[in-house]
Amino acid sequence: MLPQGPYATIRPLSPLPYPLVQMVMDDALNSSDDDRPASGSLIRDHWPVAALVALVFAAYFLRLTALPVCGEESRWAGAAREMIATGDWVTPRQQGTLFPERPPLGSWAMALVGLVRGRVDLVAIRLPTVLATLAMTLGIFAYARCWLSRTGSLAAAVAYATFGQVLQIGRLGESEALFTLFVGGALLAWHAGYMRRRNPVLVWCVGYALAALGALVKGPQAPVYFAAACTAFLVVKRDWRWLLGWGHAAGLACFAAIVGAWFVPFALGHWTAIDDIWAGLAQDRFTLDGLAKHVASYPLETFGCLLPWSPLLFVLAVPRVFRAVLAQRPQIVFLLVALAVTYPTVWLAAGARGRYYMPLYPLVAVLVGLAVEYCTSAAARPLGRAYWKHFQRGLAITVGVIGAGVVAGSLVAWDPLAKAAQPPTFLWLWIPGVSAASGLLVWCSRGLQSWRPQVAVLALGGFLALAASGVMINARLRGANNIDPRLAAIKQQLPAGQLVSLGRVYHRFAYSYETPIEQIPWPETAGQLPPGVEYFCFDRRPTDTAEARSTSDGRLSSTTSGTLPFEWEEVAEIACDPVHRDVPSRTVVIGRVRRQPSRETLLARPAARTTLR
């Protein structure tokens, strides 16, 4: 039998007359547990919540607008701008035409912040993402406090906020953070309600409502993950009343009502685009090309995305440890079942990337917290205690090596370390921060008092937050390609509102230009060019030829002639890649029509031109 202690304590599942979400938050903020400092005084949970808010603020909110717009941020920001301009919040558009990439909730969030700020700027683009990261971090802590100690709950929340993948994209205006909030939140909220035997109608409706919001971010992945995980868990538990009862039916009706409020008006207006906007991107990921390589490498990619916390999961893989944990924490079954039924959707999809599994990272984070709780509890076997001790000391060494490498790269002119160079002012914060984190990890590894693991977890989280908001951003700024100053100079040369695009222009260019750019079809004959057009722009890629050019933009792709059927002169060519490259993969050419009958190809540069670089 396992020794009795904090690890063996399971908090009672007494009913409360509050709604599910309020119940979970009350539990997180007001409960106490057996984690006690050396003095024996009881610490309430308000300090871990404050620590988590501070951690997320330091890692994500600081320097929110330091990086220029990049990645797919400008896709969704462009759609948000057009929603505000047209008043149509049902149909995502780019340059006035339908943009059927995915449902519009991500653009809705940007547009709402943009309405408050008066423009869809970098704050409007990224604020919904970092708020979602903060909400998910606190949600994980609230859920974990239903059945884990303070140490385990704090470790779970810090782990999610500082997973390598989350640190990489958790501050950008991508869709993953919002998607994770709704999908991960749906699973955790549903399980919290199930554990406490709340009203099934309420529990299912909360879960499906969050899954519906997830569906409005990225499509069917959200309801598939939620329904598959909950159904499989209830089958394992053989709880047919929960699975087949009226509560489940009410949840499905709630999901249909929320999604239908957008989907029905969109379908009535754009029937042929339903498949593209709802499931097109998901369908593109399932291919047999490179599947064997993907199956072999994707678990390693997932492990890397979850660093530096993923090595702790090995503890739970030890059979004796797993049996002990399962005996004391049967709630782990839900987490394992949910991961087991969802992981094949990305593991067996050759086009899947590491971030596509981010909606389940909150569940993995709780497993990390469970591993920390076990290794630091009185019930832990010597193997678990030794692993936690060596884990802390290994991290202390890693932190010290990384810190020294950054300092050396900043002070020594050596090419292998040049990318790690930092501004001198930042080093005054970096050196004591690294020293404190490394020292605390070593110090905390020398004892098993309940507060030591908490200090160790926060020390590691603090170091990662400092690295993310400092080193990572500074390194990315060094190579970033900010096109805003060049476009501002070009706009001074062009008559206001007279730039059109021949076909769809690259979304980053269209966003940064700010003034709306009317889209007209690529002309195949001189007569197809509207008579009033003087300045125009178009995409150019290295693979374009005089015979053909690609117009690929996400799922919208086609091929046109590579020749313009009129005489023109080049005003500027803008490399629009997010980072500087010797050979840009995406450029936008700005040209001026010369009203003389002539033909010139895209590859043969016009003789008369001015180039702004």
Q: Which is nearest to 324 in space by CA: 390, 387, 371?
A: 371
Determine if the pTM surpasses 0.75: yes
Q: Confirm whether 259 is domain-assigned.
A: yes
Q: Confirm whether 345 is domain-assigned.
A: yes
Do both 122 and 265 map to the same domain? yes
Q: What is the pLDDT of residue 258?
A: 97
Confidence class for position 462, pLDDT limits 50, 70, 90: very high
Partner residues linked to 573 by β-bridges: 589
For residue 39, CA distances in Å to 30, 43, 456, 534 come to: 21, 11, 19, 78
Q: Write out pLDDT tens, residues 517-548.
A: 999 988 888 888 888 889 999 988 888 888 88
Question: CB atoms < 10 A from the CB of 116, how many?
Answer: 10
Q: Confirm whether 238 is domain-assigned.
A: yes
Confidence class for position 173, pLDDT limits 50, 70, 90: very high
Position 2 pLDDT exceeds 50: no
Q: Which is nearest to 113 in space by CA: 100, 90, 131, 140?
A: 131
Q: What is the pLDDT of residue 168?
A: 92
The answer to whether 9 touches 33, Cβ cutoff 8 Å, is yes
Confidence class for position 596, pLDDT limits 50, 70, 90: low
Confidence class for position 14, pLDDT limits 50, 70, 90: very low
> Which of 128-142, 354-368, 535-549, 553-567 shows the lowest mean pLDDT across its residues?
553-567
Position 296 pLDDT exceeds 50: yes
Give me Rg for the CA atoms of the chain: 27
- In the listed set 457, 479, 501, which residue is the last one of a domain according to the structure? 479
- DSSP-based three-state secondary structure for 107: helix
The answer to whether 124 touches 80, Cβ cutoff 8 Å, is yes
Confidence class for position 280, pLDDT limits 50, 70, 90: low
Confidence class for position 466, pLDDT limits 50, 70, 90: very high
DSSP letters along 251-308, please? HHHHHHHHHHHHHHHHHHH-GGGHHIIIIIHHHHH--STTHHHHHHHHHHHHHHHTTT
Do both 327 and 199 map to the same domain? yes
Mean pLDDT of 159-167: 96
Do both 393 and 418 map to the same domain? yes
Length of the chain, in residues: 613
Do both 400 and 343 map to the same domain? no
Q: What is the pLDDT of residue 525?
A: 87
Do both 413 and 497 map to the same domain? no
Do both 293 and 391 map to the same domain? no
Distance CA 176, CA 76 (A): 13
- In the listed set 442, 462, 479, which residue is the last one of a domain according to the structure? 479
Sequence letter at residue 443: W
- DSSP-based three-state secondary structure for 476: helix
Distance CA 440, CA 434 (A): 10
Confidence class for position 277, pLDDT limits 50, 70, 90: confident
The answer to whether 484 touches 513, Cβ cutoff 8 Å, is no
Sequence letter at residue 10: I
What beta strand segments (E) does 482-610 contain? 499-502, 518-520, 535-540, 549-550, 559-560, 563-564, 567-575, 587-594, 600-601
Do both 215 and 83 map to the same domain? yes
Q: What is the pLDDT of residue 556?
A: 63
> Which of 2-11, 125-134, 206-215, 378-387 shows the lowest mean pLDDT across its residues?
2-11
Do both 443 and 517 map to the same domain? no
Mean pLDDT of 194-201: 93
Confidence class for position 473, pLDDT limits 50, 70, 90: very high
Q: Confirm whether 1 is domain-assigned.
A: no
Q: Confirm whether 65 is domain-assigned.
A: no
Q: What is the pLDDT of residue 30?
A: 38
Tell me the torsion sign for CA atoms 285, 290, 296, 298.
negative
Mean pLDDT of 31-49: 52
Residue with the larger pLDDT of the pair 351 and 283: 351
Do both 496 and 474 map to the same domain? no
Q: What is the pLDDT of residue 532?
A: 84
Q: What is the pLDDT of residue 119?
A: 93
Nearest 10 degrees: CA dihedral of 106, 107, 112, 117?
Answer: 110
Distance CA 508, CA 506 (A): 6
Q: Is 502 left (phi over 0), alpha (psi -120 to 50) or beta?
A: beta
Q: Structure tokens of 349? A: 């999809």
Domain ranges, residue 556:
484-601
Position 273 pLDDT exceeds 80: yes
Do both 561 and 442 map to the same domain? no
Q: Confirm whether 30 is domain-assigned.
A: no
Distance CA 556, CA 519 (A): 14
Do both 246 and 334 map to the same domain? yes
For the chain, the domain total comes to 3
Residue with the larger pLDDT of the pair 286 and 401: 401
Q: Which is nearest to 84 in space by CA: 119, 42, 43?
A: 119
Do both 158 and 272 map to the same domain? yes
Q: What is the pLDDT of residue 143?
A: 95
H or E element that contains 97: strand 97-98
> Which of 188-192, 394-398, 545-549, 578-582 shows the lowest mean pLDDT across its residues?
545-549
- In the listed set 380, 407, 431, which residue is the last one of a domain according to the structure? 380
Mean pLDDT of 484-508: 87
Q: Confirm whether 575 is domain-assigned.
A: yes
> Which of 64-78, 346-360, 541-555 shows the lowest mean pLDDT across its residues?
541-555
The answer to whether 181 touches 130, Cβ cutoff 8 Å, is no
Q: How far is CA 559 from the centre of its chain?
A: 32
Q: Confirm whether 607 is domain-assigned.
A: no
